[in-house]
A and B are shown apart, each in its own frame.
Chain A
């Protein structure tokens, strides 16, 4: 795929700036997609991550600019709030036994609505900026939004989250539990896997990833607006699927999801760099998603046949 764009766009795409434009765009989605893949492997969906990005970013901005908090405590509180939302999602799913698709669809609406309502209710605005005035901004910028040449530091966060996700999935007992939970919750429970705890933990993880993305984007763009993160939940699921994660659970890979996000970045940015109207982005994306799903399915069947 990279070759396709590289051939058409020529030096612009292969340049450091072109590569950075792709990786920078893919990084936040990559952070989300890795954790969403883990949750999907355990057999659940989280449709609320996009709304949590909007809510967490706005919460941080309100704490800083409306309530006068220094930035670092606000970052901590934002991550705690995000984790709390994940906990609530997980608890509801486990307790009510409703499909997580429905539960988190509910939280998608609730938190997007709260983001608009709270920001307008407290400040009369839906867009809050000037985070660079906050105490501690310089240090936060180094951690969340530093520039390494043309590359954003969020690319390193993406790599780190992917590495940790891959390690947990393949090298730890938690990883075995995640796969067992998604394979067959009943069998897993009989084998002594704490299925409920695994699921709740993973909902907390996806929400934390959304909180991290919110912090990165708020620090980078020195503010937040009420629409941040819209549609990211579906993009994260698409990236996970492109990366080989099964919608039905039980199978998938963290690194695959990270690569799925890279494919997303390639398509999205490659289209602009090659000079095609971005109107076509969704068309390409849909084709890539279908092609990847077909390809993954073929590979898995072949793998099963030869095993």
Chain B
């Protein structure tokens, strides 16, 4: 490595950490959060805001890490690096227990308390985490399916913007079960959230190919925006009902105007905030939640009635 490169790194490191020394080993507790959230997805900014807010409220250091793309190998590496820095607590999302299990078990084995968040409700206990914070995904999918079927949907499209994420697969499976009760069926469509234009084209194409589709469920705002654009292109009389998981300013505006029937709210702020609080409590008092150890943050529903109240908070990155 060149001397000049090293010099630049020093400058950059100093520039973005302020005083690096106290970020690493202060007298305070230090919690590292490693999630699979992609930077283009507004959802994960709220989780990050929640984690940092908890850090400020409690006066402890919180660091938030995520791989650049949905990449489990990279995420396992991040967990390993975070564990090597010996934090007082580690928060992880577990979208793929098989891929991340080894790194999480190693962190637990090294004596680092772990709380899983967002995804991992099927794996956290056997990997040695002390609690899980999040929305049970299958049940949330069922609830969304029942709500859609209640409004008359029988042929639904499930838009998956994060192929490979088992939690999203469970939402689609839940949707299928929720609709099956009334005889409805579900098609799954994969889209690339890094390219909203291509995603819109794909959704529009799928709707044109199957004109009998009367409901679309997006699995997050990154899928809801292109789905909304695609649905708008269909004439109002034959337009399928649109619903989505998770909130964003755009989703909320569409819920308020009635273009999106409802949004399933898993309250990401709590998914960042609560794990930090739980780990701080565990570090200080050795306590952990009982009752199965799962702290459910959803599903709640945002509909036309309560959308306005949520909009203000969403603009601040809190909902």
Contacts and interface: CB of A to CB of B under 8 A. Distances in A.
B96 interface: yes
Contacts of A9: 24, 85
Contact of A277 (B64, B72, B73, B166): B64
Nearest to A15: B84
Contacts of B85: 9, 12, 18, 272-275
A119 B16 CA distance: 42
Contacts of A206: none
Contacts of B287: none
Interface string B148-172: 0000000000000001111001000
Interface of B: 1-2, 4-6, 8-10, 12-13, 16-17, 20-21, 23-25, 30, 32, 39, 61, 63-74, 76-78, 80-86, 96-102, 110, 163-166, 169, 188, 190
Size bin of chain A's contact surface: 35 or more
B99 A277 contact: no
Nearest to A267: B9
A25 B17 contact: no
A231 B78 contact: no
Contacts of B96: 127, 129, 221, 223, 225
Instruction: Name the prevailing secondary structure of the B interface residues.
Output: helix
B24 A288 contact: no
Contact of B23 (A129, A131, A275, A284): A275
A25 B2 contact: no
Given A18-B84, A272-B32, A284-B12, 15 more contacts: A9-B24, A10-B25, A12-B84, A18-B85, A129-B99, A217-B73, A221-B73, A225-B99, A225-B164, A227-B70, A281-B68, A287-B9, A288-B9, A291-B2, A294-B4
A163 B277 CA distance: 49
A277 B98 contact: no
23 contacts: A1-B9, A9-B24, A12-B85, A18-B81, A25-B80, A28-B73, A125-B169, A127-B96, A127-B164, A225-B164, A227-B72, A228-B72, A230-B69, A231-B68, A269-B81, A274-B24, A275-B23, A277-B16, A278-B67, A279-B66, A281-B68, A282-B68, A294-B4
Contact of B6 (A4, A20, A272): A4
A231 B123 CA distance: 28
A227 B98 contact: no
Contacts of A295: 2, 4-5
Contacts of A280: 12, 16
Contact of A4 (B9, B83, B164): B9
Contacts of A220: 102
A60 B4 CA distance: 44
Nearest to B110: A17
A78 interface: no
Contacts of A94: none
B17 A130 contact: no
A278 B70 CA distance: 14
A246 interface: no
Nearest to B190: A116
A12 B24 contact: yes
Nearest to A259: B1
Nearest to A268: B77
Nearest to A220: B102
A231 B69 CA distance: 9
A288 B20 contact: no
Question: Which among A13, A21, A228, A272 has the highest number of chain B CB atoms within 10 Å?
Answer: A272
A221 B164 contact: no
Contacts of B66: 278-279
A239 interface: no
A205 to B, nearest CB: 22
Given A116-B190, A227-B71, A20 B24 contact: no
Interface string A247-283: 0000000000000000100001100111111111111
B98 A130 contact: yes
A179 interface: no
Q: 6 shortest A-B CB distances, which residue pairs? A: A291-B5, A129-B98, A295-B2, A225-B164, A221-B99, A272-B81
Contacts of A3: 6
A78 B58 CA distance: 51
A222 interface: yes
A66 interface: no
A108 B77 CA distance: 24
Nearest to A131: B98
Interface string A126-155: 110111000000000000000000000000
Contacts of B101: 222
